[in-house]
Structure 1
Amino acid sequence: MNRTIELVKTIYEIKQLENFDEAQIALAGRSNVGKSSLVNRLAGRKKLAKISSKPGKTRSLNYYKVNPDGYFLVDLPGYGYAKCSKTERAKWAKLIEAYMTSNPQLKAVAVLLDSRLTPQKIDMELTSYLKSLGIPVIPVLTKADKPKQRELAKLQSQWKDILQQKNNPLLFSSKTGKGEDNLWDVLGEYAKL
């Protein structure tokens, strides 16, 4: 299927949040996990989402409309080691919390996890928080072209146990396109829920 992705709305403050009729799947992950690269790969465009060598470039909620499917991918600010003030970080946290807790169209959160790292406390805290809100988690191991197959399998197994899910986390590489079709399929399934 020929899909297009376009940036429709950028939100910096809670008062800018609005209700959309379309289903939404949020993209969450640590700064530098490859969210912007994933969006660009799915869009087939290099510069739709801004990529920076400095972690934490995304400082807003970015609503990307997926056509012809008709749902939104919502890119959330990265968490972790983005260089910004505690005040700004607290502002992001409040914005993300408001988005997640008052949004009936949010169908799932694709949590991007760096496939080169063992499960990190901050990622486990996020997935636990999402589960406490009753929001389905789609675990995606990014940069899957880097580790050896055996390491990837081990990490998939660890995350499967942590999340208590029956399916392994998805593997994805924005560099090679590994797992792209599979990711589209899963996003589409959740968007229809």
Structure 2
Amino acid sequence: MDVHNVDLTISAVAEKQYPNTQFPEIAFVGRSNVGKSSLTNVLINRRGYARTSSQPGKTQTLNFYNIEDKLYFVDVPGYGYAKASKASRQKWGQMIETYLTKRQQLQGVIALIDGRHAPTDDDVSMHEWLKYYKIPTLTVATKMDKISRGKWNKQESLIKQSLSLDANEQLVLFSSLTKQGKNEVWQWIEGRM
């Protein structure tokens, strides 16, 4: 999709604040600092539109980005951030679970993992959880420009094995620096609209 118009419609903490449209929604989930904002910025052809932060755990709301009045990207708070209080993590967890399981406009989830490492226990749990709820999911390995091209196949195998991805589950290797993987991610998104 060629993106010209993007609008951060609302940063929501409760169901009653979600946009009241029938636009399809694609949610972005992943650990804190995995690159959700960077992926969003590449997809919408903007620099710094979705806020990137060096401080993990910064996003504490569901951020709804209206893309061309056709769909919403929904940036979900990162998981696995130890410094957030247990009460905060519990509150975010309930907000995220409610959104992912009850929102009828949700057409799929892009689950981001750091491509430089093996998926964490939290990544594996999230993958299993999304699979359990039968939510269409695209797994995207971020920060691929930070490892040498010769190690990509090894990393890809490690990620697929760790997450037990089957033949029907797509994994995209992504770099916000080189834009590697951008077209594959858009193809998947457009297939959900």
TM score, norm. by length of structure 1 = 0.90
Cα pair 1:55 1:81 within 8 Å, conserved:
yes
| Aligned twin of 1:189 | 191
Q: CA deviation at 1:22?
A: 1.0
2:129 alignment partner, SS class:
helix
Q: What is the CA–CA distance in structure 2 between the aligned matches of 1:167 and 1:16, rounded to whole Å?
A: 32
Cα pair 1:63 1:74 within 8 Å, conserved:
yes
| Aligned twin of 1:170 | 172
Cα pair 1:31 1:82 within 8 Å, conserved:
no
Q: What is the CA–CA distance in structure 2 between the aligned matches of 1:141 and 1:173, rounded to whole Å?
A: 8
Q: CA deviation at 1:19?
A: 4.9
Q: Letter of the 1:169 partner, please give it.
A: L
RMSD: 1.8
Q: CA deviation at 1:15?
A: 4.2
1:163-192 superposed Cα distances (whole Å, 9 cap, x missing partner): 2233541011112211112211111112x2
1:141-169 superposed Cα distances (whole Å, 9 cap, x missing partner): 11111112343222323333412233541
Structure 2 residue runs without a partner (length 5+): none
Worse overlay, 181-190 or 71-80: 181-190
Q: Letter of the 1:130 partner, please give it.
A: L
1:67-88 superposed Cα distances (whole Å, 9 cap, x missing partner): 26x1111110001125321111
Q: Tell whether 2:114 aligns with 1:114.
A: yes
Q: CA deviation at 1:11?
A: 0.2
1:163 alignment partner, SS class:
coil
| Aligned twin of 2:86 | 86
1:128 alignment partner, SS class:
helix
Identity, in percent, stands at 40
Worse overlay, 39-48 or 58-67: 39-48
Cα pair 2:138 2:169 within 8 Å, conserved:
no
Q: Using a 3 Å threshold, how does the CA distance of structure 1 residues 156 and 101 change in structure 2: closer, same or farther? A: same
1:22-49 superposed Cα distances (whole Å, 9 cap, x missing partner): 1111000000101111112222222211
Q: What is the CA–CA distance in structure 2 between the aligned matches of 1:75 and 1:119, rounded to whole Å?
A: 20
Structure 1 residue runs without a partner (length 5+): none
2:146 alignment partner, SS class:
coil
Q: Tell whether 2:33 aligns with 1:32.
A: yes
Q: What is the CA–CA distance in structure 2 between the aligned matches of 1:175 and 1:118, rounded to whole Å?
A: 21
Q: Using a 3 Å threshold, how does the CA distance of structure 1 residues 85 and 72 change in structure 2: closer, same or farther? A: same
2:47 alignment partner, SS class:
coil
| Aligned twin of 2:136 | 136
1:74 alignment partner, SS class:
strand
TM score, norm. by length of structure 2 = 0.90
| Aligned twin of 1:123 | 123
Q: Number of residues paired by the alignment?
A: 190
Q: Letter of the 1:188 partner, please give it.
A: E
- 4+ residue runs over 4 A deviation: none
Q: What is the CA–CA distance in structure 2 between the aligned matches of 1:15 and 1:67, rounded to whole Å?
A: 23
| Aligned twin of 2:67 | 66
